[in-house]
Amino acid sequence: MKSFKQYNEAYTDAGTLKQTEDETHAAFNIQDPVALQKLNGFVGALAEQEYLQPDAAIHQMAMKLGTVGLQFALPKIEGNKGKSVVEVNQFGGTYGKTSDNTTSGDGDIENGDGISHRKEGGLKLEFKWEKQSNNTYKVFANLI
């Protein structure tokens, strides 16, 4: 029978399992072009299905992007074909005083999207939808 010490020495590499994501390219690091490209691939997979209503696809996208802390206001869907662009925030955005603000006036409160300070211009989500000949909808999405 092996002692604990022998067992432990035999399996010293057991704790070095590879992670599913490289921490520098994690999906929530949207300022990284590689991570944003991977996230856009995830968002683009939305178009692989057909939907009875385009709202269903947008609600599904809202839930999936929520797993990496991204939220957006649901766009209004009108007509058989259209396009909508919405602002995206991360982790609920930012609100409050920052370390840069040393005065106590009303003008030093930051109310941001949680993205613009890391990625210039922030992040937007573009939706396009189109009714198909079989009365279903194709929905395309892209993070820009």
3-class secondary structure, 33: helix
- Dmax (CA) of the chain: 73
Say what the pTM is: 0.69
Residues 97-114, mean pLDDT to the nearest whole number: 65
- What average pLDDT does range 94-116 have in this prediction? 68
Residue 122, amino acid: G
Q: What is residue 102's predicted lDDT score, i.e. its pLDDT?
A: 53
What confidence tier does 17 reach under pLDDT thresholds 50, 70, 90? very low
Q: Which residue has the higher pLDDT, 68 or 85?
A: 85
119-141: pLDDT as tens digits: 888 899 999 999 999 999 999 99
Distance, in Å, from the CA atom of 23 to the CA atom of 42, rounded to the nearest integer, reads 18
Q: How confident is the model at residue 91 (pLDDT cuts 50, 70, 90)?
A: confident
Three-state DSSP at 82 gives: strand
Q: How confident is the model at residue 86 (pLDDT cuts 50, 70, 90)?
A: very high
Query: What pLDDT score was predicted for residue 105?
Result: 56
Long-range residue pairs from 64-69, CB within 8 A, at least 24 positions apart, any chain: 65/125, 68/27, 68/28, 68/39, 69/28
pLDDT band at 20 (very low <50, low <70, confident <90, very high): very low
Is the predicted pLDDT of residue 80 greater than 90, yes or no? yes
Query: Is pLDDT above 60 for 93?
Result: yes
Stretch 67-86: mean pLDDT: 92
pLDDT above 90 as % of the chain: 35
